[in-house]
Amino acid sequence: MIYALLAAAFYAVNVPFSKLLLNHVGATTMAALLYLGAGIGIGILSLFHKQETGAKLDRKDLSFVMGMIVLDIAAPIFLMLGIACGSSSNASLLGNFEIVATTVIALVIFKEAVSRRLWAAIALITLSSILLSFEGTESFRFSYGSLLVLLATVCWGFENNCTRNISSKNTYEIVILKGIFSGLGSLIIAFIKRETMPQLIYIVLALLLGFVAYGLSIFLYVRAQNTLGAAKTSAYYAVAPFIGVLFSFVFLRERLTVTYLIALAVMIAGAGLAAADTLVRQHVHSHQHTFTHTHDGSTHTHTITHTHEHNHYRADGGHGHHHSRKELMKELAAHR
């Protein structure tokens, strides 16, 4: 949980500060520099940390790695274009649609369990995203900036599930591959589009932003996925847009509208439900088991008390228990 929340906090700086840098850097070039900063920064960190426990990626991981890289080329380009022609606060909040995309894909393709509480969260977040996608209550003109941001979240929804399938592997290797190759792919597209290279100071600032908002965030996100799964990690990650909105108001002086405030309230409710669905705690149960069997011509009855510690998942007003019966079977066998 801590990894997921830290990942969200680091990513929150992305949208508002990218909005500032986009005044000096082309959208596709910006996407490239962000991911290159992530790959280079985590690559440097890996030189000082040799004790990574995850196994190295191998040939059977290739399809997930390729999917991860291609989607990470498309997503930030869509996001930067959306930020360039829309508001930073809108883009930050719309980032929560990534929860919807990640969860639905995790359910449909990767068969992860989704509770009724999480479905309710998805409905609220989707409603909020619809409200944020229109430019005003009078004209109801659809915002193309919002559409581009939503496309980015769908790409990241697929990417999250690709990464989930390799999240037990070497985290440094995943983030370095993701950063370097996705960054180079975006840079090639920027050259094809003939975007002008920015001044050195803006290149350095974009690389640093990429290291923090993408590099450190992705690193911690992958670690969280390995424990929580794709859907639950995205739920905790939902706090990022709200931090981003705060930065947008403080640094960019973006104004609040009535529609925006309604959408914000709905989004908070949805994100709160999503986060509540991920609550996990450990506790110990004590059970008595009575069984009767016949041995050497006589009947015996035994009562055995055993305890077990397991994860307790709160969901839909009930709970599910997940634990092994191996210890109980050993105790029963001793009496036969």
253 conformational bin, left if phi > 0, alpha if psi -120 to 50, beta if neither: left
**Do 89 and 202 belong together in one domain?**
yes
Is 263 inside any structural domain?
A: no
**Do 315 and 170 belong together in one domain?**
no
Is 266 inside any structural domain?
A: no
Structural domain ending residue among the three candidates 258, 289, 307 = 258
For position 321, what pLDDT does the model report? 38
Q: What is the pTM of this model?
A: 0.69
Is 270 inside any structural domain?
A: no
Structural domain ending residue among the three candidates 227, 258, 289 = 258
**Do 25 and 80 belong together in one domain?**
yes
**Do 139 and 230 belong together in one domain?**
yes
Q: How many CB atoms lie within 10 A of CB 36?
A: 25
For position 18, what pLDDT does the model report? 93
Is 309 inside any structural domain?
A: yes
Is 276 inside any structural domain?
A: no
CA distance 275 to 289: 36
The domain total for the chain is 2
For position 170, what pLDDT does the model report? 87
CA angle 263, 151, 195 (to 5 degrees): 115
**Do 190 and 319 belong together in one domain?**
no
CA dist list (Å): 131 to 19, 100, 239, 259, 260: 22, 15, 19, 7, 8
For position 320, what pLDDT does the model report? 37
Is 227 inside any structural domain?
A: yes
* 33 sits in which H/E element: helix 27-46
Is 267 inside any structural domain?
A: no
Range of the domain at 95: 2-258
Is 274 inside any structural domain?
A: no
Q: Which tokens sit at 102?
A: 């990640």
Q: How many CB atoms lie within 10 A of CB 111?
A: 8
For position 305, what pLDDT does the model report? 46
Residues of the chain below pLDDT 50:
137-140, 280-291, 299-300, 302-336
What are residue 301's DSSP bridge partners? Answer: 292
**Do 152 and 9 belong together in one domain?**
yes
